[in-house]
Amino acid sequence: MLTVCIRRALTKRSSSLKNKHCSRTRSSSSSTEDPDQFRTLLQLCVDRYYVSPGQVNTELFQRGMCCNYGPLGTELRRNLLDQWWRSVTRSRAQVFGINTNSGLDRTAEGQGPLRIVDYENLKQLLERQELSKEQLIQEAHLLLQRCPSVRTNLLQGALEQFVPTLGVVSRKLPFGLAETGLCLQPAEGSGCPAEVTQTSLVWFCSLHTSSQWLDHWTRQRLKWWRKFALSPSDFSSSEVPPEELEQAASRGVRIMYSFPWGQESLETLWNRGNAELLHTHQGVRSKLQCRDGRKSIPHVVSITGNMDRGMLAFLSNSLQQLKRQDGKQKLLQRKVLKLHPVLAPVKVALDIGKGATMEQRQVCEGLLLEFLEAKISTWPGYLETLTTSLEQLNAKYDEMGVLFTVAIGENTLESGLLQVRSRDTTIKETMHISEVKNFISKYISAADNI
């Protein structure tokens, strides 16, 4: 909680600073005063290389499904998955990462409804003239039953990997198995099946601690979502009502986000009992017994997230639309994607002020390599040859969510001084070229450790 408080305080502080000449118009989660807000976000995501254009693709994105992401969306997704992985596998000793097959190696049975079929094989079958209709139907069933099924979640893989992992922990509870990967969601109605980037932690513990663990992980997960939020209160948790509980589950909690069109679930935690685990291992209790005071079959708490919708939530949460008047009393609207420094896909944009020379470009290239070596993701703005005013450039980088813009001016070559503009404060600082890498590195790692 402390960390959330500190961050809130920091956010407030910085926004009160920069809002001197601005009035915030960002609608709060419950209001519907700005119905266009989401359309603005979608357009921004397409324009600024988060999401590839095309109606089919943006619809997938809007539904919280995996779509074609542009360079910035790809990097944001990587950062988000990285943070999830770190927070889950490195939070305690007893969480182990696994990687399970999408279901392709499962033998014969192939329980899922979605199957991968080689169309050529089926074509050949359908072209066999000598078969009667009944024979054809029978052969088609046989062929399909042999086809591998595609996973729709990561839970089953973790349940299967439970036994091989027992050796790692000498059969001692509790422990968990973490995995991220694509899962297929069966089509709704006549639509196509779509993919989702899923995160999964399957936590094995004793019966009498399972409800406490559910509470523990709910707190942890909510804290995690809020850590990266601009307005943390848009993220909340709520108990699943008894009538909506999944088959095997005795209790469930959802982490919700307030989208402009209503609440949607980002992550779900279930207290699932041990029936599925027993079923997966054909009820052979001796294989499953663990030590936790006394011998018992562990109970399962599953924590399943949808990181595509998570991306949508953070993007939606971080878009600020600010109205302000410029010097000539013209009303400007400034859009800023205030993604958390750790999540922001581009940390620095490198640009050349007016009168670009070959020498300035060389300075940019040197600085770029220096940043990349320090693992600071950098946007090579200097490559763009269209002449744009610095004002327009800043507006563009704000929409991209770029943390800092570094501008190499004409006098950089002589004095070694350059200008560093901050997305969050809009303040421009003059800094020596030898200091800028450390300044940015420190800023990011400080934000990470709050």
- Using CB under 8 A as the binding rule, the residues of this chain from 27 to 86 that contact a copy of itself are 49, 52-53, 56-57, 60, 66-71, 73-75, 77-78, 85-86
What per-residue string of b and e applies to 249-278 under the rule 16 or more CB within 10 Å gives b? bebbbbbbbbbbeeebbbbbbbbbbbebbb
DSSP, residue by residue, 291-327: EESEEEPPEEEEEEEEHHHHHHHHHHHHEEEEEEE-T
Q: Is the CB of 308 or the CB of 424 nearer to a copy of itself?
A: 308
Order across the sheet with 378-379: list the strands.
378-379, 348-352, 404-408, 417-422, 428-432
Among 19, 21, 36, 97, binds a copy of itself (CB under 8 A): 97
96 scored as a contact of a copy of itself (CB under 8 A): yes
Give min distance, CB of 4 to a copy of itself, in A: 19
Give min distance, CB of 273 to a copy of itself, in A: 24
Looking at the DSSP bridge assignments, the partners of residue 174 are none
Closest CA to 221 of 202, 234, 233, 236: 236
In this structure, the number of other CB atoms found within 10 A of the CB of residue 205 comes to 25
What per-residue string of b and e applies to 81-104 under the rule 16 or more CB within 10 Å gives b? bebbbebbbeeeeebeebebebbe
Please, which of residues 150-189 interact with a copy of itself by CB under 8 A? 150, 157, 160-161, 164-165, 167-170, 172, 179, 182, 184, 186-187
Which residues, in sequence order, are CB contacts of 363 under 8 Å at separation 6+?
A: 408, 412, 413, 433
Q: Is the CB of 34 or the CB of 139 nearer to a copy of itself?
A: 139
366 scored as a contact of a copy of itself (CB under 8 A): no
Looking at the DSSP bridge assignments, the partners of residue 198 are 181, 306
Q: Which tokens hold the place of 41?
A: 């976000």
21 scored as a contact of a copy of itself (CB under 8 A): no
Asked if 127 and 171 touch (Cβ cutoff 8 Å), the reply is: no
437 scored as a contact of a copy of itself (CB under 8 A): no
Looking at the DSSP bridge assignments, the partners of residue 306 are 198
Please, which of residues 376-435 interact with a copy of itself by CB under 8 A? 377-378, 380, 383-386
Which region, judged by CB under 8 A, interacts with a copy of itself, from 11-19, 113-121, 312-320, 323-331? 113-121
Q: Is the CB of 90 or the CB of 328 nearer to a copy of itself?
A: 90
**What's the CA gap between 370 and 422, in Å, rounded?**
20
199 scored as a contact of a copy of itself (CB under 8 A): no
356 scored as a contact of a copy of itself (CB under 8 A): no
Q: Is the CB of 38 or the CB of 85 nearer to a copy of itself?
A: 85
137 scored as a contact of a copy of itself (CB under 8 A): yes
Give min distance, CB of 57 to a copy of itself, in A: 6
Looking at the DSSP bridge assignments, the partners of residue 252 are 270
**What's the CA gap between 101 and 220, in Å, rounded?**
28
Q: Is the CB of 107 or the CB of 434 nearer to a copy of itself?
A: 107
Looking at the DSSP bridge assignments, the partners of residue 179 are 200
Among 4, 98, 207, 450, binds a copy of itself (CB under 8 A): 98
Give min distance, CB of 127 to a copy of itself, in A: 8
What per-residue string of b and e applies to 350-372 under the rule 16 or more CB within 10 Å gives b? bbbbeebeeebeebbeebbeebe
Give min distance, CB of 203 to a copy of itself, in A: 15
99 scored as a contact of a copy of itself (CB under 8 A): yes
224 scored as a contact of a copy of itself (CB under 8 A): no
**What's the CA gap between 291 and 33, in Å, rounded?**
56
Q: Is the CB of 434 or the CB of 449 nearer to a copy of itself?
A: 449
Among 36, 118, 239, 246, binds a copy of itself (CB under 8 A): 118
**What's the CA gap between 316 and 258, in Å, rounded?**
10
Which region, judged by CB under 8 A, interacts with a copy of itself, from 202-210, 254-262, 370-378, 435-443? 370-378
Give min distance, CB of 237 to a copy of itself, in A: 25
292 scored as a contact of a copy of itself (CB under 8 A): no
Give min distance, CB of 224 to a copy of itself, in A: 15
Q: Is the CB of 10 or the CB of 104 nearer to a copy of itself?
A: 104
Looking at the DSSP bridge assignments, the partners of residue 264 are 257
